[in-house]
Amino acid sequence: MSRRLDWVSLIEKSYDLESDGATWLGRIFGEAVPLLDGVDSTAWSFHCTPTTFSLEDFPRGSSKAIALGVRAFHRLGTRSWLDLVYRSGHVVDTASNACFPHQPDMRALFEKVFGRYAHDILMIGAHSGMGQGVVLATMLKDAAVPTPSQRKRWPRIAAHIGAGLRLRAAVAGLPLDAPATEAIFESNGKLCEARQGATEPTARVRLREAVLRIDQARTVAGRSDPDGAMDAWEGLVAGRWSLVDRFDSDGRRFVVAVRNDPRYPDPRGLSLRERQVAEFVGLGQSSKEVAYTLGLSLSAVTNAASAAMTKLGLSGRAELASYFSPASPRARMAEFVVGNETLLLASSPLVDERNLSLLTDAEREVVSHLIAGSTNADIAERRGTSVNTVAAQVQAVYRKLGARSRSELAARLQANRSPDSWRSVFGM
């Protein structure tokens, strides 16, 4: 396969630690352009917290006209639009599919800014899980929805770009003796050194296997099978390490295992792994996507999510997604002084009716049961209808609201809440 359709090279560029931020973004963009296949493409970096957003750099060589339009779009965009695009778990989607149905004013703004040559935009959002992010975007002549192939491949690419962002923030330059370097392998998989978490025999075996899998993914044969290569090259190994090439003074290549899992302090008793899983569930990711992003098994993700729900007193995964959504009240706790104690309080209605205007009355009732954690059979029994009818209504809800799962539905309903509704929640 020609290099211009090389998905593996895009993964490799994600872990470049030598170049400055602008050069790194430019290299990511350069590898992505042939894969985006639109009218014109661009990229930008951003920093996003639950309460702040800043649009940062564009790569050298990208369209200045599009960059100006994107900056104008962000300057004029509403808070709810920022929530929808950056805080709701969208990894790959088009504006016409994910944004315009909920934000008709933004459709008019898009046509005003870009309507001369494009009527839609495909965006891929890569989040570090720690506030930093990158968007890859390509303009489309006509309204479209992402293809199955795009929905499969781009979230995996985004996981690697996010891991690269975390790595660059933590260990820029990465000398071989950096504290975060926990193992060093030769390119053939021979272990040279292991320390800290990599000293356990099972960890060494997992790392060696990953080194060999990734080396195979980078061959000509591996690059010709991008889906197989992405299966082999996980976002993290065992939920802890990224594997990065380093060269010594003689030019020998080594593969170093660098600790790169997202770090979250948590005062509520969640373990680090439980908090990591919960944060990505809050971004609307499925268990399969979380497993790939964090390099964990599906059972490990399920167990961590279940433990987090138990500790927080939540009744289901949808409530966990709602609670950890970056636009949820958790991120905007209100402070109250009661007696001599300062308390952080928040509550959230499970469903905001204003976000359900596209649904029928029956579909709205189904949504309320979905968010509460009811199964299709439970909903059918409550509503006196068949399971097949409920299944059809659930799919209609997902289609109309642009969601693929209950957890993504919960995250998006939270992300679409308006600032006024937050004030009403807090009684402000």
Average pLDDT of the residues in 216-240 = 89
Q: How far apart are CA 144 and CA 424, in angstroms?
A: 36
Q: Is the pLDDT of residue 421 over 50?
A: no
Q: Is the pLDDT of residue 147 over 80?
A: yes
Residue in the block written with tokens 């170093």: 256
pTM for this model (two decimals): 0.71
pLDDT tens readout for residues 7-36: 999 999 998 888 888 899 999 999 999 999
**Lowest mean pLDDT, pick from 186-195, 239-248, 251-260, 318-327:** 318-327
Query: What confidence category does residue 176 fall into, taking pLDDT thresholds of 50, 70 and 90?
Result: low
Residue-level pLDDT at 343: 46
Neighbouring C-beta atoms of residue 89, cutoff 10 Å: 30
Neighbouring C-beta atoms of residue 247, cutoff 10 Å: 10
Instruction: Give the domain 353-426 fold.
Output: Arc Repressor Mutant, subunit A (1.10.10)
* Residue closest to 240 by CA, chosen among 266, 213, 206, 285: 206
pLDDT tens readout for residues 336-345: 444 455 444 4
Per the model's pLDDT, the better-predicted residue between 281 and 328 turns out to be 281
3-state secondary structure 113-148: HHCCCCCEEEEEEEECCCCEEEEEEEEECCCCCCCH
Domain with CATH 1.10.10.10 in the chain: 353-426
Domain with CATH 3.30.450.40 in the chain: 3-170
Residue-level pLDDT at 89: 67
- Highest mean pLDDT of the ranges 88-102, 132-146, 249-263, 376-390: 132-146
| Structure-block tokens of residue 422 | 């937050």
Q: How far apart are CA 336 and CA 353, in angstroms?
A: 28
Q: Is the pLDDT of residue 60 over 50?
A: yes
Contacts of 19 (CB under 8 A, 6+ apart): 27
Q: Which CATH architecture has domain 3-170?
A: 2-Layer Sandwich (3.30)
Q: Is the pLDDT of residue 206 over 70?
A: yes
Query: What confidence category does residue 309 fall into, taking pLDDT thresholds of 50, 70 and 90?
Result: confident
Q: Is the pLDDT of residue 167 over 60?
A: yes
Amino acid at 394: V
Beta strands (DSSP E) in 219-312 are 241-247, 253-259
Q: Which CATH architecture has domain 174-259?
A: 2-Layer Sandwich (3.30)
**Lowest mean pLDDT, pick from 12-16, 67-71, 101-105:** 101-105
Q: Is the pLDDT of residue 1 over 60?
A: no
Query: What confidence category does residue 418 fall into, taking pLDDT thresholds of 50, 70 and 90?
Result: very low
- Highest mean pLDDT of the ranges 144-153, 167-176, 177-186, 352-361: 144-153
CA 91 to chain centre: 6
Residue-level pLDDT at 426: 27
Query: What confidence category does residue 158 fall into, taking pLDDT thresholds of 50, 70 and 90?
Result: very high
Residue in the block written with tokens 């890859």: 136
Average pLDDT of the residues in 59-69 = 85
- Highest mean pLDDT of the ranges 146-155, 165-174, 230-239, 399-408: 146-155
Residue-level pLDDT at 401: 80
Average pLDDT of the residues in 283-290 = 85
